[in-house]
Amino acid sequence: MIRKQRERGRKGSPIHIRGHIRLLVSLMKRQILCSQSKALLLLYLYKYKYNNAAALPSVGIRKLPLSAQMGSSATPADSYISEGEDHIIQDKDLLRRTDSGTTGSLHVLEDLVNRASLEADRTLCNKLLNKCTQSGQLKQARIVHAHILTSTFNDDLPIHNTILNTYVKCGSLDDAHKLFDEMPHRDLVTWTALISGYSQHDRPEEALVLFPQMLRHGLQPNQFTLSSLLKAAGAGPDPDDKHGRQLHAHCFKCGFDSNVYVGTSLVDMYARCGRMDESQIIFDALDTKNEVSWNALIAGHARKGQGEHALRLFWKMLRGGFNPTHFTYSSVFTVCASAGSMEQGKWVHSHMIKSGVNLVAFVGNTLLDMYAKSGSIDDAKKVFDRLVRRDIVSFNSMLTGYSQHGLGKETVQLFEQMLRIGIQPNDITFLCLLTACSHARLLDEGQYYFHLMRKRFKIEPQVWHYVTMVDLLGRAGLLDRADKFIREMPIEPTAAVWGALLGACRMHNNIDLGAYAAERAFELDPYDSGPYIILANMYASAGRLNDAAKVRKMMKESGVKKEPACSWVEIENAVHMFVANDDAHPQRAEIYRMWEMISKKIKEVGYVPDTSHVLFFVDQQEREVKLQFHSEKLALAFALLNTSPGSTIRIKKNIRVCGDCHSAIKYVSKMERREIIVRDTNRFHHFRDGSCSCGDYW
DNA sequence: TTCTTAATGG
């Protein structure tokens, strides 16, 4: 009790400062305080501000012309934290120079200056640390920490825990761990703060090893510890559920599994380990669920590519009376983006507008991506323009959109705009930019940006940047330069690098270099069917059927399976899938009849089936028959049967569209007066009035 | 004083 009183009146404590300010104000009112000495008031203001800002106007200090007194170095109390220690020292110097006058207040002031030690009190330190935590200012946190080390409350455990947490939130786990090691005493909060630090900053292994150590110190985890540990268990490089299961047992034993935080973390952990069934069981068993629990489950299905399931859960969540959050919308838009289901995405978008959720980058980026990936680049741009705050991901998403739609000029313009605004590009930005240059035949621009990336932005190109450069050079027909470029790469070329060269060789019919590139690709990744198929097709279309057969045999022997080609088309909120020569579809007969009719009609206006893309069909007529039933053709016939005249048709494909289909779709777009948008593995084709946006360059 | 959920590439 006595100690408490002493502490309350100690110098630096709020009461102490308040008293000083009152005294100073009264001196000032009686004209005893000379003008220079008002600097002293500023010093007190610094301290006072953080204790009770609301009380300031009542003592009239705000009316002081502080900046006039302090010259250009004047610092408003608000910016104390961000300006740091230098200014405090500066103010001290000012104080020393204060009061050369000989007023009767001299003694009083001298006394005050001496007593105005900068030692902070506990409340002030907590507030300062809090502010550092919120704004992530590590440097200031270290200064406050230094003050605390020389203070009388240095052996205080809670304040050390707060510092540790501040370091964590400022992103410096080194500082946090160092403090942890130096601390004379640690409690559960200390351990938990460090564990959660590693887990939040994506260093799961380091979080997990702390757990057994903590147990050895005789501490039992609580809900905070367990949820952090579960997050770490689900985030491992190769998330296995060994840690997860042990933790689950621990949660169960201590009865924490019914806690919302721990329960939700369990749902999330199993979902990240790919065990959706167990995730669902835990979710169902939760007495108390919140939005986060739903989001974790929905995101889990979305990540696993179970889009339909995720959407069903979304509707269920709504029916259950839960309000979707940014996270929910974000997952749902991602699902719609990868399925190319724009109609459902639009519906959810309108739902989001009605619910009043702001179009911030967090959710806007995924919405933008959804429109771009569904083929509507105009809607994507609208979303981009309306975003409340654009971040690097917003720009990257928009750049990706442009580049996939073959809009090279727009990509370059947006990139330049981004630089003007002062947003730092990252490696993904450059990947989009280079891809755009490649797709739009912007050879010089592509090479220029590749150098710029290194020189001006100090971003070391990753293997994917090299792949794109090989693609850029190769597409432009500079096959030898592309080959040389690969040989001069500072990093080892991967199968994808050689694959890019192979693709270019196919485009420019260079079989020898193509065969060489394919060999390298086989060596580096024998399990990818792509290069085998391309090479075999190249041989086949050059009439070298024996060589084609050899490649095919090689592929068979290495046990590679060709991924079946399929196409998807969305009709009235349902996505329909087609495989080549589909014979299981309920509307099969109509679809085939439809295509035969179309085929006949477009042949009359000039369509010539190109059979060079088909392997091993000796007889010309048979070749043509097989060719007719590529999945995108079936999807197109189906869409023509089931949509109203004039409406846009959007088709998604899992491999690159073949030359014959590309040609056929061009004719169909003209004849049927339809806009047809085909999304293949690396770009969009907008067919309109007989031509394609890719300019037959893909 | 300590806790859970999303997004951009090929």
Q: How many other C-beta atoms can be found within 10 angstroms of the C-beta atom of residue A151? A: 17
Q: Does at least one atom of strand B sit less than 7 Å from the CB of A228?
A: yes
Å separating the CA of residue A697 from the C1' of nucleotide B4: 48
CA A689 to C1' B10, whole Å: 31
Which of A566, A572, A565, A564 lies closest to A639, judged by CA? A572
Torsion sign over Cα A407, A376, A597, A585: positive
CA angle A279, A280, A282 (to 5 degrees): 70
Rg (C-alpha) for chain A, rounded Å, is 34
Using CA atoms, how far residue A650 sits from A206, A478, A617, A657, in Å, is 47, 34, 31, 14
Nucleotides of chain B within 7 Å of a protein C-beta? 1-10
Distance CA(A641)–CA(A596), nearest Å, equals: 13
A325 CB inside 7 Å of strand B: yes
pLDDT of residue A540: 85
**Any strand B atom closer than 7 Å to A264 CB:** yes
pLDDT at A626: 57
Q: How far is the CA of A225 from the C1' of B6 (A)?
A: 23
Å between A598 CA and B9 C1'? 37
Q: How many CB atoms lie within 10 A of CB A553?
A: 12
Which pLDDT belongs to residue A341?
86
Q: What region, left, alpha or beta, does residue A685 occupy, with left being phi > 0 and alpha being psi -120 to 50 degrees?
A: beta
Q: Residue A117: is it exposed, middle or buried by C-beta count within 10 angstroms (0-12/13-18/19+)?
A: exposed
Residue with token string 């009152």 = A22
For residue A565, the model assigns a pLDDT of 83
Report if CB A172 to strand B is under 7 Å.
no
Distance separating alpha carbons of residues A274 and A276, to the nearest angstrom: 6
Answer for A183: CB within 7 Å of strand B: no
Residue type, A105: S
Distance CA(A18)–CA(A6), nearest Å, equals 16
Give the pairing type, strands A676-679 and A649-653. parallel
Q: Is the CB of A612 under 7 A from strand B?
A: no
Nearest of A370, A417, A411 to residue A390 by alpha carbon: A417
Strand A684-688 and strand A649-653: the pairing is unpaired
Instruction: For A294-314, give one letter per residue: b (16+ CB within 10 A) or e.
Output: bbbbbbbbbbeeebebbbebb
Burial tier of A115 (Cβ tally within 10 Å: 0-12, 13-18, 19+): exposed
d(CA A677, CA A46): 62
Amino acid at the residue A148: I
Element (H, E) at A603: helix A588-604
Q: Which residues contact A132 (CB under 8 A, 6 or more apart)?
A: A81, A138, A140, A141, A144, A166, A169, A170
Which A residues 300-319 have CB within 7 Å of strand B? Answer: 302-303
Dist CA A271 CA A279 (whole Å): 6
User: What are the pLDDT digits (tens) for A70-109?
Assistant: 332 333 333 322 223 333 333 333 333 333 322 222 233 3
- Residue spans of chain A under pLDDT 50: 1-12, 15, 27, 29-40, 42-43, 46-119, 616-620
A196 CB contact with strand B at below 7 Å:
yes
Q: Looking at beta carbons, which pairs linking A686-691 to residues 24 or more positions away fall under 8 Å?
A: A686/A375, A686/A405, A690/A666, A691/A666
Residue at minimal CA–C1' distance from B7? A366
DSSP per residue over A142-190, as a string? HHHHHHHHTSTTTT-HHHHHHHHHHHHHTT-HHHHHHHHHH-S---HHH
Sheet holding A691-692, edge to edge: A574-579, A566-571, A649-653, A676-679, A684-688, A691-692
- Residue A516 Cβ < 7 Å to strand B: no
Q: How far is CA A659 from the centre of its chain?
A: 35
A392 touches strand B (CB under 7 A): yes
CB under 8 Å to A517, separation ≥6 — which residues?
A498, A499, A501, A502, A505, A531
Q: Which amino acid is present at A418?
A: M
Rounded, the Å distance between the CA of A681 and C1' of B10 is 9
User: Would you give the DSSP letter of residue A491?
Assistant: S
DSSP string, A630-674: -HHHHHHHHHHHHS-TT--EEEEESSPPPHHHHHHHHHHHHHTT-
Query: Identity (one letter) of the amino acid at A629?
Result: F
Query: Could you say which residues 110-129 of protein chain A have a Cβ atom less than 7 A away from any atom in strand B?
Result: none
* Integer Cα distance of A176 and A170 in angstroms: 10
Burial environment of residue A374 by CB neighbours within 10 A (0 to 12, 13 to 18, 19 or more): buried
